[in-house]
Every structure is written in C-alpha cells, then in structure tokens.
A = this chain, B = another copy of it.
C-alpha cells in the first residue's frame, strides 16, 4: 500500500518497493511482500544459476525458456503493477572473457524480452563491471531501439563506487580514494544518446558523497533509490533510522518522484510482532501471516514520507508545469487572452511591490506641503485589464497624493475591460484610457511617472527595452520609470529531462529556442551571474539595446564532473530604489508566480571536468523587425553558435 497520502502529491514516490532474493514461486514471493506492506518487488526473473548455452549454436531456436515460471502464474495487472524485473547480476558484457561476454549478451536480451512479454514497467540492470562499459551500453542501446514504450530500463548505479571496482570511461579520482560513479552513468547514457527509456536506480549505502556531488543526480533521470538495510542506523530503542544527511536525501527523492526500494537483510533485531511506528498498520495484517522482516525499515521510510506535509498552494498550482517546456509569450505580436490576464492578475505579491514602489516615488516627487496642490501625471504603459492602474490609485490614496492617470494599452480587447473597470470603480475623472501602442502614441502631456510591467522571465526578452524606448518620449526629463532597471541572470544546469524533450523534436529549431519552464528536475551547477542590464529612462545618444556578455562559471570542486544541458535564466528588476521584484533564486520575491525561469538549451551537452571553467557567451541582437539571442560555449570546448541571425527563435517587434 502507498506510504501515505499527502494532499497534492500524486507522484510515484508514494510507492515503496523491496528487492528480493530469487524465488521460483512468484505468487508466493509477491503475496509475502505485498502483504508485508510493500507496493512492488524487484525480483529476478531467471534462476541465477542458469547460463545460456554458448556451445550449441541452435540454442536460440530449440532451447527451453530460461526459467521455470510461466507468465500465467500472475495476472497481467499483477505483473505490470507489482513486479520490477531484476536482470541477472552475473552478466558482464565488458569482461575480457569472450565466452562470458557473449553469454551475458544472450541472457540480457532474453531477460528483457521476457520482462517485456510480461508488460513489466521496468527492469533493473546490474551495475556495469570492469574498466569499460561500452559493450554493455551497445547491447542496451540495441535493446532500447525496439523496446516497448511503457518499459523503463533502470541502470543500477551506486552513489559511491569504491576504488576497488574498476569503472568505465575517464577515471579521475576524487579526493578520498573514491571513484565518481556519476561518470560511469554519464558515459553509459552518452553512448545510448540520452535515450528517454534509460534511467537510473541509485544504490544508497551508509556513506554519502558531498552535497554538491549528490546534487547532480537531481538533474538526471533517477527513477528509484535502493536503500540498503546497512545504510540504516539504530535509534535508542533499537529501531532502524537514518542519519540527518540520509533523511534529507530521501526527502529530496520524494520531492523528485523517485521511488524507494528497500534492499538487504534485516540487520536490526526487533522483538517479533513489534513495530514501533506502524502500530496503526497492525490491523491490516492477515491473521497468521508473520510480519515482514523488513517492516521496520518500510515503516521508517513511511514515517519520512508522511513527515513531508502537504504541498503549499503555489507548489500545488505549479505541479502540472514542472519541467514542461513552454514557448515564451510574444506579447507585442500577439494579443494576450483573457485567461492569461486572469492568471497574472492573481499574483497579488507582484502588485503589492508595484504599489510600494509607486508610493515611494510619489513621496519623493511631491513633498507633503504640495500634496494637495500638485497633480502627478502617471502613465501605465501596457495597462492590460488595469491591475497597475488600481495599484497606482491605491498608492495615491495611501500617500495622499493627487494623480492623473493615463492607461495606455494596445490590445483592443483588454481596452474593453478597462473601460468597464473605470466605470465600475468610478475612476472616470482620474483615468484616461488610451487605445494605442505606446511606441506610436502621441501623448497630450508629459508624464512624471511611467509604470509598466513588460518584463519576461529573462527580463528584456518580451522587449521591455524597445517598448520603453518608445514611451520615453512622453516622460519628463527628470521623470521616473517603474521599473527603473532590470538585469537578467543565468546559471548552468544539468537537465536531462528538458534536454530529451527538446531533442524529441528532432530538429535544430527546438535546440535554438529559449523556453519558459518551471524547473524541477534540474541540478543547478553554479551560482547565477548577471547578463544584461537595462536602465530607464536612458537618454544617452549612444543608446543601443544590443548586448554582449561573456561569463565564466566555476563548478564547486567537490561536485566532480558534471553535464551542462543548458542554462537556466532569470531576472531581477529594480522597480524604484530599494523595491525590487524578481525570480533570481538567491533574491527571488517570495510567493510570486507570474514568471517561471527561462531555459536556453545546448545542442550538444557539455561535460565539465573538475577544475575546468565553463565559458559562455550571450548576445542580444536587434534587427529591423525582431530581437533575438545568440549563445555559445567556448570552454572547455567551443560549441556551435546557437540561433545565428535569430534563425530559430526571435521576438517580433
């Protein structure tokens, strides 16, 4: 049964599995473990003693099936929902022994084919052995080409691989005599071209690598974490528990929809029938059935799961958007729909920040003694359905300043709603509605304050600079723009899921597009760095909205090697003086949901070795009818320049 019910969590991490010994009585094996409280078993499908015959060339035709069981012993539903097939761990496709190598290939293909016949959801592939994994990867890659779409292959990878085991690919030692098992995975998946049905089952043992090293896995396709009983500590009452670091890791697994599998023998001797945390489960036990020997471990995992607590409302709202690539809005070329306005207007945090900024600007501009005599001209450019008009009027009321408002909006549909709002609120004397593009409006007077919300996830990517350049004509020389400046930021990320989604389109265009996306299964490899800054108003005669920035990122040395699939982008805007608004993680405005980050993919992921910096270049280019970004990497190795001349992705003027 599931570990618990957490409101909002519908992910697979509710289900907990158990790794079992081979047992040719599958119904019994399953009953034992399901009755014992587990949701699924990770079970060998083939007797470990079986070896396919190599001598008899006809074995593939006349040979018997590799094990005694029949598919009829379980129902199709039982097979597919309760069994993960464990591929024989003796197989070694990179052995120096050619006979073993060939036997391994036959066994691997036979077992996966059988698992596929049973419609299992996943097979667990043994950890690569030996110095190389190329032949193993070649064989798995062949299998993946024709694999039933519903089946995943979980490659078993230990979080830490000891020095004794040889590993595949480049083998830079990390400090402390450990070999980086992530590199093993990285070689394997590169050989298999990031195949979307190849994923990871992590072996969690008693010692853990550094937090930065662990962090990389959250950008990878990890489906399961196999926790060994000897990774557990013993609490004061003799029951299993986990170290703080392990607890934090398991919690992170839950948050990333990674399923837990308990493995190994019970190493805590508990009085039979007692189960400290699971008293409430006792009624569920079928009479006469013994308690599962790993029950206390399962109960502890369940305790950690239930401790998560319900998802906050914002996260629940964003759940469906996690790692889902969206094309950025084209608000200049397209008119937004009512639904889009509706969503953004609900972001009260954002409008509170605007109201604070407008208040400060009004107070700075109009001393108390002139509050009743001077009227401030405030123009909302891009007024939409009026939320900034409301915020402005509330600021005027709060500060006791007099206001004359122009609400300029190019979308004629939004203007309809604006008129109705003004009438409803009785603002007719204060607010003038202008149905026009701010870039060509001929204003009847100049403004003291220009208020706009034209920012995209990457700051300038919805052409705020170009729009405000156009609107600047009707701002007084010493007038204020809210926002007064904004800066974009990027950081390199591992994001195997996003990379695969981009790749699935099989074209260049999608690899040269920036996407708006709620980043979740992502490893942030280095702190953000600022990219482009725009300031408003800007009266310099050398004014130009083209930009070029070169950045150098250093990955923390205890991360190990890492894969960069692209860059996460954010912005931070100074609305007025100390009032800011933004999504850059280290300074993000809390509880604001109007912007997800942006993602710039790389056509070829870049592998970083420890100590070698990542050098990135970004350009913002402007043409007669469009604005676009180009980007590339020059170190450790030069990539192609992405989106040359805006051929794939651009924002229309």
* Cα-based distance from A193 to B640 in the complex (angstroms): 5
* Cα-based distance from A541 to B57 in the complex (angstroms): 9
Cβ of A413 under 8 Å from chain B: no
* Cα-based distance from A283 to B630 in the complex (angstroms): 58
A146 contacts across to B, CB distance below 8 A: 645
Do A170 and B635 touch (CB < 8 A)? yes
0 or 1 for each of A609-636: is its CB under 8 Å from B? (1 = yes): 0000001010100000000001010111
A145 contacts across to B, CB distance below 8 A: 644-645, 647
A638 contacts across to B, CB distance below 8 A: 134, 169, 186-188, 190-191
Residues 98-113 (chain A) with a chain B CB within 8 angstroms: 101-102
A132 contacts across to B, CB distance below 8 A: 550, 615, 617, 634
Residues 128-144 (chain A) with a chain B CB within 8 angstroms: 132-135, 137-138, 141-142
* Cα-based distance from A442 to B133 in the complex (angstroms): 45
* Cα-based distance from A619 to B550 in the complex (angstroms): 43
* Cα-based distance from A544 to B106 in the complex (angstroms): 14
Which of A102, A146, A637 lies at the interface centre, i.e. has the most chain B CB atoms within 10 A of its CB? A637
Out of B135, B170, B542, B641, which one reaches A191, CB within 8 Å?
B641
Cβ of A607 under 8 Å from chain B: yes
Do B191 and A640 touch (CB < 8 A)? yes
Do B55 and A541 touch (CB < 8 A)? yes
Cβ of A301 under 8 Å from chain B: no
Do B191 and A634 touch (CB < 8 A)? yes
Instruction: Using A135-B617, A617-B134, A617-B135 as known contacts, say yes or no to A637 and B141 having CB atoms under 8 A apart.
Output: no
Out of B141, B630, B635, which one reaches A644, CB within 8 Å?
B141
* Cα-based distance from A331 to B637 in the complex (angstroms): 42
Chain A interface size range: 35 or more
Do A138 and B617 touch (CB < 8 A)? yes
0 or 1 for each of A515-554: is its CB under 8 Å from B? (1 = yes): 0000000000000000000000000011010101010000
CB distance from A462 to the nearest CB of B (A): 23
* Cα-based distance from A528 to B645 in the complex (angstroms): 43
Instruction: Using A134-B550, A134-B632, A542-B55 as known contacts, say yes or no to A639 and B191 having CB atoms under 8 A apart.
Output: yes
Do A138 and B641 touch (CB < 8 A)? yes
A546 contacts across to B, CB distance below 8 A: 102
A56: nearest residue on chain B (CB-CB)? B541
Do A637 and B138 touch (CB < 8 A)? no
* Cα-based distance from A615 to B133 in the complex (angstroms): 12
A138: nearest residue on chain B (CB-CB)? B641
Do A644 and B142 touch (CB < 8 A)? yes
A641 contacts across to B, CB distance below 8 A: 134, 137-138, 141, 191-193
A188 contacts across to B, CB distance below 8 A: 638
0 or 1 for each of A234-252: is its CB under 8 Å from B? (1 = yes): 0000000000000000000
A482 contacts across to B, CB distance below 8 A: none
Do B141 and A634 touch (CB < 8 A)? no
* Cα-based distance from A102 to B142 in the complex (angstroms): 51
* Cα-based distance from A55 to B544 in the complex (angstroms): 11
Cβ of A149 under 8 Å from chain B: no
Cβ of A604 under 8 Å from chain B: yes
A632 contacts across to B, CB distance below 8 A: 134, 138, 191
Cβ of A418 under 8 Å from chain B: no
Cβ of A168 under 8 Å from chain B: yes
CB distance from A129 to the nearest CB of B (A): 15
Which of A102, A190, A541, A550 lies at the interface centre, i.e. has the most chain B CB atoms within 10 A of its CB? A190
A170 contacts across to B, CB distance below 8 A: 635-637
* Cα-based distance from A188 to B637 in the complex (angstroms): 11
Which of A54, A146, A186, A638 lies at the interface centre, i.e. has the most chain B CB atoms within 10 A of its CB? A638
A57 contacts across to B, CB distance below 8 A: 541
A102 contacts across to B, CB distance below 8 A: 544, 546
A168: nearest residue on chain B (CB-CB)? B634
Residues 293-322 (chain A) with a chain B CB within 8 angstroms: none
Do B190 and A619 touch (CB < 8 A)? no
Do B191 and A637 touch (CB < 8 A)? no
A170: nearest residue on chain B (CB-CB)? B635
Instruction: Using A634-B134, A634-B169 as known contacts, say yes or no to A142 and B640 having CB atoms under 8 A apart.
Output: no
Out of B542, B548, B615, B645, which one reaches A135, CB within 8 Å?
B548
Do B637 and A190 touch (CB < 8 A)? yes
A636: nearest residue on chain B (CB-CB)? B170
0 or 1 for each of A433-475: is its CB under 8 Å from B? (1 = yes): 0000000000000000000000000000000000000000000
Residues 180-197 (chain A) with a chain B CB within 8 angstroms: 186-188, 190-193
A630 contacts across to B, CB distance below 8 A: 138
CB distance from A617 to the nearest CB of B (A): 4
Do B169 and A635 touch (CB < 8 A)? yes
0 or 1 for each of A243-280: is its CB under 8 Å from B? (1 = yes): 00000000000000000000000000000000000000
Do B55 and A639 touch (CB < 8 A)? no
Chosen A-B contacts, 16 in total, with CB atoms closer than 8 Å, are: A101-B548, A102-B544, A134-B634, A134-B641, A135-B617, A138-B632, A138-B644, A142-B644, A169-B638, A170-B637, A190-B637, A190-B640, A191-B632, A191-B634, A191-B640, A193-B641
A-B complex: 5 closest residue pairs judged by Cβ atoms: A190-B638, A187-B638, A134-B617, A193-B640, A141-B641
Q: A57-B541, A138-B632 are in contact. List 8 more A-B contacts (CB 8 A).
A: A134-B632, A138-B617, A138-B630, A142-B645, A169-B634, A169-B638, A190-B637, A192-B640
